[in-house]
Amino acid sequence: MGKKNFDFSGRCGILSDVDIKNALKSGVLEVQPLNGLNIQPSSIDIHLAKTILVFARRRVGEAAIDLKKPVDEFMDYEVIDPKKGGVLHPKEFILGVTEEWVKLPNWLCMNVDGKSSLGRLGLVIHATAGFVDPGFEGHITLEITNFTDLPLIIYPGMAIGQFRFSALMSPAEHIYGEAILGSKKYKNSFSKEPKPIASQYWKNLVK
């Protein structure tokens, strides 16, 4: 199931720090950049990249988001100042992205979890998309919301969540992005300056 020196055959469950290190060393799991990677007892810390996507409410006026159409005209890229940070207003929703890039084999799935210390401040990093299928490769887009009534200041490079890996009982027959699943695999290569990807849901309704 895996490569030499890391055989996960017949096992299932959440990977421990020992398993994660062995999977990375053998190459069956890829995470970049590895330099300074902070491995917790059963997860890897992930960090916020400097580029975010925000909804341009003033520019689009009273227009509504049509789920059958692209949303690019509703969104703008912004770069967070590393010293001053960026203000996340009360109840504001933005898209962020992880500095980390990950590639999963066909027998691993992954969860993206927030940090409890940030959750206690009202900062949530995903609305619904906390699960990542086997075969995925790319930076993870984060759905970030400030649920408090006070502004929060966020910074690029801050630890914002965790990757948690689970081994399947058997390898997946079809992996993320295969055409047979009715989905499309988007190019999401490793970048030192990744950008979040806006919703592509409209492509599911236009066939």
**Residue ranges covered by each domain of the chain:** 13-170
3-state secondary structure the chain: CCCCCCCCCCCCEECCHHHHHHHHHHCCCEEECCCCCCEECCEEEEEECCEEEEECHHHHCCCCCCCCCCCHHHEEEEECECCCEEEECCCCEEEEEEEEEEECCCCEEEEEEECHHHHCCCEECCCCCCEECCCCEEEEEEEEEECCCCCEEECCCCEEEEEEEEECCCCCCCCCCCHHHCCCCCCCCCCCCCCCCCCCCHHHHCC
Single out the catalytic residue among 137, 143, 173, 193: 143
Segment 73-119, tens digit of pLDDT: 888 999 999 999 999 999 999 999 999 999 999 999 999 999 999 99
Chunk the chain into consecutive blocks of 10 residues (it has 207) and report each block's average pLDDT, rounded to whole numbers: 58 91 94 86 96 81 79 89 95 95 95 94 88 94 96 96 94 85 77 89 71
Which CATH superfamily is 13-170 part of?
A: Deoxyuridine triphosphatase (dUTPase) (2.70.40.10)
pTM: 0.88
For the question of residue 143 being annotated catalytic, the response is yes
